[in-house]
Amino acid sequence: MEGPMGRLDGKVAIVTGAASGIGKGIALRFGREGAKVVVVTDRRVALGEETAATIREAGGDALFVQGDVSSSADTRRFVAATVERYSGLDVLVQNATWSARGRAVDLAEEDWDRTLDVGLKSIYLGAKYAIPEMRKRGGGAIVNISSVNGLAASPQLAAYNAVKGGINNLTRNLAIDYGRHNIRVNAIAPGHVVTESSGAAIHRDPHQTWSFTDACPMGRVGTPDDIAGAALFLASDDASWLTGEILVVDGGMSIQVPEVLVAAHYRRLGGKPAVAPIEDPPAVD
């Protein structure tokens, strides 16, 4: 693909959970920036193949590999397939997740196990099999997709909150253990990102729309491309001396004191609201 140099030219990148949403956005951005992209999904095979095809149609180079990120055998296989096709591995973006809503007492044990296997065990497995290949190339970058739920908790998300908190500290541990091998490990903590499946839902309820727009300093929800831009930076040589960081990408939502989130007049002190305020903001229990 001729044209201006991309920020990931010559890099080989795996992106898990790339069938849709954030993972798809990252895979497409990496493809536009010159990376050879390996798209990994488990059950949504058709959508994963579509992501890879879109990259190729735009002039990029992409391979689809089906795999369950919670499986040691599958993870080893899709890393091996990457190396076989592209002769190495430089970047691993670990985005795949699965979760069941529930409090600890109510949550089924199998749902707890599945959430931790797909969301947290997968981070360990990805590092286990990707890092040896990165060392052969003289270094690499791992970007783990966490959440603001790894910094603070939401109700009835016991397993999901545990996963995201675990990702953050495992990210730091990997950064410490492999920094001397020129392997950087960082995480992104997105706020509320609207994807294909959630876009229409937040606009059906005006109170929900309010909570993700007027309550946010940037006045809008996030998009997959917002997260893709952060992932591109962390994967690129521009972040060559940055490791072990949890990069919060949430439009400024989490920098506010609680009063800003529950009292409209606090937000109005910062200027005109980005969207028309609702006359009766949602009650807080």
Give catalytic residues, as residue numbers.
Answer: 160
Half-sphere exposure of 89 (CA within 13 A, CB side): 26
pTM for this model (two decimals):
0.90
Beta bridge partners of 93: 15, 143
d(CA 216, CA 148): 14
Tokens at 269, concatenated = 């002190």
How do strand 183-190 and strand 246-249 relate by DSSP bridges? parallel
Sequence-separated (6 or more) residues with CB below 8 Å from residue 71: 125
CATH dotted code for 12-207+221-257 = 3.40.50.720
d(CA 201, CA 107): 25
Domain coordinates of the chain in residue numbers? 12-207+221-257
Per-residue pLDDT of the chain (285 residues; tens, 9 = 90+): 455 689 999 999 999 999 999 999 999 999 999 999 999 999 999 999 999 999 999 999 999 999 999 999 999 999 999 999 999 999 999 999 999 999 999 999 999 999 999 999 999 999 999 999 999 999 999 999 999 999 999 899 999 999 999 999 999 999 999 999 999 999 999 998 987 665 556 666 666 667 778 778 998 889 999 999 999 999 999 999 999 999 999 999 999 888 777 665 555 555 554 444 433 333 333
